[in-house]
Every structure is written in C-alpha cells, then in structure tokens.
Structure 1
Amino acid sequence: MYQEDCALPDTFLQMREAEVLVDVTLIFDHWHVKCHKVILAGMTKFFHSMFVVDMLERNSNEVVMSSIKASTGKLLIDYMYGATIEFTPKNAQDLFIASDMLMLDNLKNRVVDYLCEKADYTNCVSILNLARFHKVDLLAERAKLVLLDYVEEVDEQELDLLKEDDLIDILTTTANYYHEDSFRLVQRWAKSGEKRSNRFCPLMDYVRLKQCRKEFIENVIAADPRMLEGLCYRRLQEVRNTVPPEQFVVGDDDGNMWMCSVGSEQWQLMRRPPARYELCSACIFPLGFIISGGLYDNVYQTHCHAYHAKYNRWDKLPPMTNPRSNHASVYHNNCLYIIGGVDGEYAYVKSFEALDMRTLQWMDLAPTPIRLRDPIVVVESDHIFVLGGYLECDYTPCSRDVCEYFDSKWEVKACSMPEDCDAGAAVCFDKHIYVVGGRNETCMRINPLLDQTWVDLDRPQFNHFYGPALVWDDKIIVCGGDDVDAIEEYSPQDDSWSIWKLKMPKKGCMRFALRIALPL
C-alpha cells in the first residue's frame, strides 16, 4: 500500500520547496519544513496512521518530530519526496533509528546493509547496542564478529559501551572459532573499568581455553597475572594438562595430501578439496590450513580452500585475483598472503595479494622487488621476509636476495644469503630465520632485525630438494624431498641433526608440511 520507493515526479519536490498546496509543517529541532500530508501518508504507515486515522495530529497544521535531529529529518523528507540518501558513518545510525520509527522499512534495510559493511573497531559496540535495541539479528551478528576480529584494536570508548550480558552472549554463541580472541576480549573488557576487574575470573567460565593453541596458552594466557590466582590458576593447570590431539599433514607436487596422527607411524591419504591443486601452496591458519592456486590440465588456478580440522571439512574461499602456481603463502594477522609464482603465460610474477579472512575481500599489495618462482617466505615480528626462489631467466639461477615487507613497503636487504638455497625451506625460531635443506644441504641462520649476519650451521645428512620444513617442539624438521623419504630433525640448542623413525609417505617433491591441532 505504501510507495516508499516510488520515483515521485520532480514537480512534487518543487511544489514543496515553493510551498505550493502544502498543508502541514514538520518540526525537527529548530528546522521547520512544510510538506503535503497526502505524500507523507502515501509513503509510510507512520504518517498514514497519523493523518488518516483519527489521531490528534490529523487536523493539526504542525507536527513536532522531537525524536529526530534536524539534519536527519531533512534527509528523510527529501527521501520521501524522491531524493537519494547518501549514507555516511556520521548519519547512518541516526537514519537507522529514524527509519525504524517512521516505518520506512526499505530505507531501514539499506541502512542495515550499510552498517554491516562499515562496522569496524571504532563503532562495532555502538552498532551492536543499536541492533540489540531494535532487534535486528543480522546486524547484531555482524557487529559481534567484527568485535572479535578486531579485539585488540577496538577503541576504549567503544569497549566501555559493552554490557556484560552482551559479552557473555558473544562468548557463548559467536566464539566457537574465536577461542583466543574470546580470551583477549575478556582481558580487555575486565581492564576497562574498576567495577569490571573482579569479573575476570567468573567470565573465564565462558572461554574455551582448552581449544587455544599451546603457544597462546603459555605466552598469553599464563602471562596474565590474574590467571595465577585461585580458580583461574586451577583452570590454567587443567588446560596445561590437556594436550589437544595433533596431526602432521604433508602434500606433494601432484596435489596428494597425507595426514598422520602425532605419535603414530601410519599415514592416511586425505580427501582432496573440491578443486584440483598441483604445484600449489598451503599454510597453517587457526582452524586448520589453507590451500591455494596451482596448475591443473595446463590451466593456472585461482582456487582457494580452507580445511577445517574440527569437522574434517573443506570450505571454499574467494578465488585469488591472479591465477598462479609455484607461489608461496603465509597466514598472518587474520590475512592470507600470496607471494610470487608463475602466471597463466608461464611468466614469473611480482604479484603480492592478501585475503582478509574477516571480510573475505582480496587486496592487491605492493609488488615484490623481484620476480620469483617458488619463493621461500617466513614471518618474524610482523615483518614478511622472502628469501631464495628461482629467477626468471634461461638457466633459472637461484636468488640469494632477502626482501623484507613491512609498513606496506618492500626493501631488498643488504644481508643476501652467502650461498644458494636451491629448492630449500625456511622457518622462524627464537627471532632467527633458519634456511635449511635444498639441493645443497643448507643450514644457516640470521637475525634479520638485529645483526643481519649469516651463521653457517651443521648440515643435514640428506639432500632435501623440495623438502618443506617446520618447527616442532623446539626443533626444526625437514621433510623428505625429490629422492628421499627421510625426516630429519635439527636441534638449534645443540647444532646437531638426527633422523626420525617416521618416514614420509613417498619420495618426491613436496609442496608443504604442516602441524595442525584438532580442537577438543
């Protein structure tokens, strides 16, 4: 019945502005505007009830809109006369409240969509409170997710607005995948006011500490002094004594993947993701691991899938902007970074892009200084380092450059590697980068943010050509390679190597080796 979205002829707006046949004045704060009752009543049930049903304002020439600001009222009157409203962070919440009051449902839904899109660490709690009061579940859920995603960046003033009942609701309904962020949220909330400080321990009842990573438990949870007192300390000890089951996952050039339970010597072939991934890349993320790109049937791929360890399930992610294989990937600060590789024309690329896992939006970032195939990538103290890889030329030499990405800029460091790392690997351990394996049986380390001097170390026994590496219980593990199925373990404390009893599931070039924890 109500024609909220109809396109009125410009004549009606001109008549209103010229005050022709107007018969009612709306008062918003200090602003008076003359309108036509018939147009207002035809646009929304609110004014229809006011002017058609026997209400007090029916025969009145003035109506005071005391709950709506003048700036908001002007936008709404123009909207009902056919104008387009441009939403901004400053007007959106007021427009939401006013459109709800005036029963402008289409406008209200558009504002909800806008607020969902624009929710961030500066407004997420305000939006949550707004959604709660007006019972808009979609907006409330979005605000809760944003709060958890940006828990360390949320403004103090915003956090002050978060009520304990809403905090508990977030912890119990939204935080299934946000165990560590849930702890950080309680940490910050309990510090945001004197009256909240004694609520820290009771709120731990709603945080699933057992599903946090071991490193997070020791480096963050146990580092909070409040966790060393009374009931909180007993919870901490229980968590420390509960070791979540872990899996060792490896993948080869052909897209095959195997999983082995820690403590077992039995490899099991994993179910592949829906897309085929050969010459792909994979990296760990909090819920499992992410696999991206690759080459299949001579077509370079953009596919990305996330493996959720808890449910043994593959979930599709938005495809990469650029198809590629032989690239590197790393997960850091809620983003999946994709670096280098080979594109659809078999050209080595400088392309550097990132998928924000909070918004599922891809971003093009500053290109790398060098075109590289199979670059080696690690993260140390928020700095992304690219080492080695193959240069684009006829005889495909190895790069020895060390490139650093920090503060949205790339820099080629002066500390180039002293030797080739031909199809080797690298890990970060104790603030050092260790480059290991490869055709040359490399083992060397550097502190890239301090002395920038390479130190030559004891070398592995085997030639781990395309053998990936990872950190495992304060040791560095190098896994198989082109013609070897041995797993070697390096001890940084003793500068010595040993060989695992467990062997790789096959000899051959491997794309990745990962250690994932299965949530309890």
Structure 2
Amino acid sequence: MEPSVESLYFPALSQGISKEWAEGHFADLDVTVEGQKFKCHRIILAAMSQYFSTMFTSGFKESTEKSVEIKGMKGDAFHLVLEYIYTGRNIVSIDNVEHVLQSASMLQIKTLQDLCKSFLRKNLSVENCIGFWRLTFLYSLEDLQALMWKFLVKKFPVIVNCMEFLSLHEGELLKIIDDQDLNTPSEEFVCEMVMKWYTANKNISSEVLVAIFEHLKFQLMDENYVRNLMTKFPKLNQIGPIKAMVDQRLLAELNADMLESSYRKEEIFCMVGTRSRMPDPSKTEVQCYSYQDKKQFHLAPLPIEPGPCFAVCTLNNDIYISGGYNQQHLVLHFSSTLNKWDQFNCIHDARWGHGMVAIDGYIYLIGGMSKTMETLSTIERYNPNTNTCEKVGNLKQAISSMTVAVKGSKIYTFGGKQNDRNASLLIQSFDVLEGESKVIGELPPTCAGGVGKTVTFGEDIFIIFREGNIAQFNETEGTEVVGVTQKFEHFGTVMKENKILIIGCASSNFTSYSFDPVFKKIVEIASEFKAPMCNFHLLRVILSKKYLVN
C-alpha cells in the first residue's frame, strides 16, 4: 500500500526542524533563563506555546525585541522543554517531572502538560504518591487529584514507612487521618503513626499536636492502649489538653450511638442473589466486595427466605428486598447502620418477578406475577417510615420479568413477559407525581424478552441485556443498541467511577466488563468480585467498617 502524503510529510518536517535547531541555523530570538541563553525560532515557540504566542502578538516590546528573559523557571528545565518542542521526544523522567510540569504549565504547552500527567499516572508509587499529590494542587491537575488521593489513603499502612510521610505538613496529615476511606488496620495504628510523624519533626509545636489529637478516634481505641499511651510517649504528660483527652476517654461511658458515629465508612459493592452451590444451594444472601481492600465480606443473614424472583433496590443507603416466590407479601429492610434486617408483610398484591425502584423517599413495586400466576399491572408504593403499602396506579399493559429504571419522577419498564408469557417489546412509563401511565415506544427487536439491568447516566438510561446487547434509551430520541458483550446466564450492573461495571457468569466462569457510556467503548477487565450466586443483583452501599468482616 502506498504511504499517504501526511505519513511522509510530517516526519520529514519534524526531522528538518530538529536539525536546524541543533545546528543553530536561522534563529531569530534569544531566550535567557537563569543566565543561560537559548537560540530559538519565534514561529516554532508560538506554534507550541500559548505563552509565547501571546507574547509575540501582544504589541508590547517583547513582540519585537531580539531577546527575552523568562524568570521563575529552571534553565535546565527550559532546555528540556525546547528539546520536546523541536524534536517531539518524550523528555519526562522521575528526576525532572516536577520542573518540566512547572515549565509546561507556565508556558502553556498543553501537550507537554498532558505528557507529564500521563507520567505521574503511570509512575505513581507508595514512595512518591505524596509528592505527586502535591503537584496536582500546585498545577491544578483536578483530574488527577482524586486518583492520587484514593491511592494515598488506600496505601496508608505502607506509605507511613516512606520518607515522604514524615515530610507531611500538619494540614496534610489532618486531611489524611480525617478521611472516612482511610485504610488502616486500627485506630491505634493511626495514633502510632501520628506519634511517629511528631517524633521525627522536632519543630512541631505542642499546639499543633493537640489540634491533631483532637481528630484521633479515641473512642474506638482499646482502653488498655489509651491507658498506656502516656507511658509509651512520656512527652504527652507535659501537654495538658492531650492528657485531658486521654483521661476523658478512660472515664467515658461509650454508648452505641457514639461508637457508630465514629467508625470509618467505606463504599462497597453488594451482590444479592441465590446461592448456586452447597451447602445451601437455594439460600438467598448478600455478599459484598471492597475494591479498596480487595476483600470479600458477608452481611447479616436474611431472617426469612424470599425464594427466587424477588426484587431489590436501595434507599438512603439501606437495602430493600420485596416479594419472591416464597414470600409474595414480604418487604425485607437491611439497615446499613445496624447491619440488621427487619421484615414486614405489607404488600397488597402478592407478587414475584416484579420490578422495584426508589424515588423521593418511597419504594415502588411494579407489575410481576401473582400467586395465581396472573401477570400484574398494579403499582404499589411502600412507605419506609410506616412500613405500609398503598396502590398508586397501573401500567398500561400487565408485565412481569421486565427491566425497570428511574429518571426524575418517572418509572420506566422495558420489555418483559406478557400474560401469555410471550416476550414484549414495549417501553412503558409511570409518572409518580401525575399518577399517569403511558406506552412510549418499543425496544429494538434484538432485545425482545431479554432479562436486563439498567443504569441511569446523565439524561440517558442504559439497559444491559443478558443476551449481551447494551441499549441506550432517551424518551425524546428513542432506543438504540450501542454495544455488545458476551451472553450471560446471571449478571449485575452498577456505576463505578463513571463507567458501567458489568459482572456476569456463564458456565460458572465469571467475566467483568467496563462500559464507557460517553464513548460507547466496552473493555473486558479482571473479575475481582466473584460469588457462587445466580439471579443476582448488584448494588452500591456505604457501610461502617466494623461490619466488613470476612
């Protein structure tokens, strides 16, 4: 195949510019940085740097003079910047990234800034994460700040052994120990690391240490540890406010509410489903996974078995399960603050194979199958404050085993099974404010009757079907298939870091995908969260770390 004009032209142009720069030909500007003089070409600098482009077109004296001086920049760093500008080579290394980033930011060279950001991301480690995190604030790298911070609090038990930890300013240390997501083996460990930092920094005043101690969670520390603290660190006896804090902890009678409010919390992913293996092959349970700690956990066992085809949703960070083949009038409520289930027999129309969503503090139960195997159109609203249900409307067409979603005040149902058990393509809506039901469209034929899960992202609803299709729905623009995964026997979906996480299994093999709803790109990823479950739902819940036990 004959090469394109562009593929021949641009390498030749780049090589030519690099050669003329190296040989010092045709330079029309001297740039002085830290006493070093660099011969440059205005047009090249202006093409790559918004800073120079503005300088040369401003009408001020710099726009016509033969030499300019740049202050506040390292000479060696500017030389590296010129090497990048004239050759396009990647000049960023661990030794120079800070100065190159500072220069690229000052000179407004976006491509070089992006190169530095990519380097920071790829070379992040426990030894340098504090320094990298600081750079994100110095140069307003907002897209990297969250990544660096997440890494820092996750790797805290290891980072404390690095020199960078001892270099923390008191404000930075406070921010770390205050973080609810801080990964620490215990609150005693946090206290020990604070004292390690204090001991290494001789210039830290007692007032600063008092301010930090006020943020330690003494109420979660072992009483014997607190009692021995003053003996282990005798200097603390000379700091009255700290001694008072310790005495107060030893004298305090800690109640459950005080302790609960002190525990750190963590976002976890919950898989609610039916076990597919022994010893309880039909037992419904909740298994959880922490992507931060890379560990799997169990929540409190359900007080009663709902049977297959129950529905699940979350409201105010609690989990609700309704119906099911064995308990068709049942609502189960899991309190995330107490790790405890309650049960209420309050559903009017016995149902299973139905939908369930939460809107504005209420839970809605939609359609499904009745005790007599009749397909339902009724919609009930469950009030978690009174644990009662009331009928609030009907779908236009009775439906079961459908996919449901919420957008604003509207509940949407996609497909499902009709009363004759044939597959439906209908998309229906119910407005909880108006009490109005509509049929608003149809799914693409390839999605007929498929079991699905939904994720709402921005103005759109994404429906992931068990057969592998990913459809995008917007009430104004309709529905279209925008991606395809493998076919699953059982699967769940949830948002994770602005991507749709799809976890599924087929023939007992777990597979996970990450789907970008903006660029419609799907990537297979490592399956970290695995559980012997079928017909499961995937949820996000924030739980107290005291409940995260293997």
- TM-score, length basis structure 2: 0.46
- TM-score, length basis structure 1: 0.49
